[in-house]
Amino acid sequence: MTVHAYDAALFGGTVGIGARPAVVVVDLVAGFTDPAYPPGADLAGVVTATRSLLDRARARRLPVVFTTVAFAPDGVEGRVWRQKMPALDCLAEGSAAVEVDERLARRPDEPLVVKRTASAFGGTGLPALLVSLGADSLIVAGATTSGCVRATVVDACMAGYRTVVPRECVGDRHAGAHEANLFDLQAKYADVVALADLFERLEAA
């Protein structure tokens, strides 16, 4: 199906943003943002853009939630995922690899959701947390676009959250996978926008 065919088939509507969006920063932890780790990549631009987003959100007192992937020593949860992607083995509970990238300056009052699946909604306390924070929509940043970001955005849509993805604030190890998934997310699940456009939406909300 071509891009024009998608348009003709009524894909890619606009969901917008609410009055109290929560920023969910998916897995911008050392294991993914430091190329020295097996699953890592150079995501410096993504981290810088996300820090700009966080500065704006914090100034507006919007909820901010971080996630990390951290596997327990027993290795039971996430066993199949790790079998498929052995690079994830470095993401052990308590290790430096699972710590939020220090450039994002996570604050003590910003929750950290620990997950063992791709989606931040998968078997975690995130759904209840978002309710307690009074979030009416989501802004999703993080890594990777084709993996944990995509899974989180799809589940957010299924949970009834209008979701915006600022394209500068998400990244992947592979440019083709990154672009293909942004295209698909925009067509079916979320508004994929430039960060400057998101800032304009926040000012208008």
* Residues with catalytic function: 148
Q: Which DSSP letter does residue 143 get?
A: E
Give me 74's structure tokens: 């027993």
| Helices first, then strands: H and E counts in the chain | 8, 7
Interacting residues of 195 by C-beta distance below 8 A, sequence separation 6+: 49, 52, 53, 166, 167, 168, 169
**Structural contact between residues 39 and 88, judged by C-beta atoms closer than 8 angstroms:** yes
Residue whose entry in the numeric block shows the structure tokens 């995501």: 43
- Tokens found for residue 180: 């293909």
**Residues 136, 147, 68, 30: what is their CA dihedral angle, to the nearest 10 degrees?**
-130
Residue 69 vs residues 26, 88, 191, 194: alpha-carbon distances, Å: 9, 9, 25, 27
C-alpha distances (whole Å) from 72 to each of 92, 94, 125, 144 are 6, 9, 17, 22
